Amino acid sequence: MPLDAVLLSRLQFFWVIALHILLPAFTVGLAAYIAVLEGLHFTTKRPVYLRLSRFWLKIFAVSFGMGVVSGIVMPFQLGTNWSRFSDATADVTGPLVAYEALTAFFLEAGFLGVLLFGRDRVPPWMHFFAAVMVAAGTLLSTFWIIAMNSWMQTPSGHVIAGGRFLADDWFQVIFNPSFPYRLVHTAMAFFITTALVVAGVAAYHLRGGRFIEEGTTMLKMAFGLLALLVPLQIFIGDLHGLNTREYQPAKLAAIEANWSTQSHMPLLLFAWPDEDAESNRFELGIPELGSVIITHDADGVVRGLKDWKREDRPPVAITFFSFRLMVGVGLAMLALVIYGGWV
């Protein structure tokens, strides 16, 4: 892989988004968790929910602020690193980013002030309502950002005129073929991330013999959510894979390091993709399982990378290994949920 301007631009953007995504991945779920805590305190009047809400609200405020600061950098990078793309697609991507700012960001930022400083200044129902609005704002922000990202992956609802992408049907632009799967998959990943952080904090305090009531409450709530969402996330991931096979077959071929179109494709547990030789080294796979997972049929045909010109193929090695890392993390989470339910 040549160390050219394209790769350097990708690496630069990778470091920025790798930092940024950790913050919304935590704060979107945390906003919903705080809203649940506020609702439970409003209805039950149990002090433990109030203490937990106060604790996590401080962490949310700092994380939210850092997310805003790191997120502002990314639109500038789109304009500098991929200026021609940004210019050509501005009539589509520009409004989507604007919708996110005008609806989601203003909603969550406005009610965050009430949530942070209004507990003793507004009625309890209003404070709870503010928590719900902040949570809704974070999810609405996720909606618009995923809509834009999904359109970049599976564009639809546009026409090309004079070298520019112009929106022809905004419904198709927003609800493009991969959008529903990406939105659900991403939102659930955010909730799972928050649940794992909450569980970790609870376990830390319980092991130290501190805040027993708070730790027990957090641990039960976190593992209850994880028991529901982790298996569901795996199922949604499978549906997303089927969508990728239909609309982004070249990406799927890179994910599986599959060079030749074939049926009865094995599931590669490990391989070393060699893009120059168009083959894999040191393959370790399970026969036919790849076709079963991707097409739900052992006789299902999966297209290979050789169906596309070299310049039209995604980078294979990083796609192959990063996907397996993701699957490994998902299986580790499932094992954690099973272990947590067992003990």
pTM of the model: 0.92
What does the pLDDT look like over 135-163, one tens digit per residue?
999 999 999 999 999 999 999 999 999 99
Residue 158's Cβ-side half-sphere holds a number of Cα atoms within 13 Å equal to 22
* 262-263 vs 301-302, strand pairing mode: antiparallel
- Show the low-confidence residues of the chain (pLDDT under 70): 1-2, 343
**Domain definitions of the chain by residue range:** 5-247, 252-342
No. of H helices and E strands in the chain? 12, 6
Q: Whole-angstrom Cα distance, residue 154 to residue 286?
A: 30
Strand partners, 272: 281
What does the pLDDT look like over 99-143, one tens digit per residue?
988 888 888 888 999 999 999 899 999 999 999 999 999 999 999
Cβ atoms of 41 and 131 closer than 8 Å? no
Closest to 11 in 3D by CA, of 66, 77, 70: 77
Cβ atoms of 32 and 197 closer than 8 Å? no
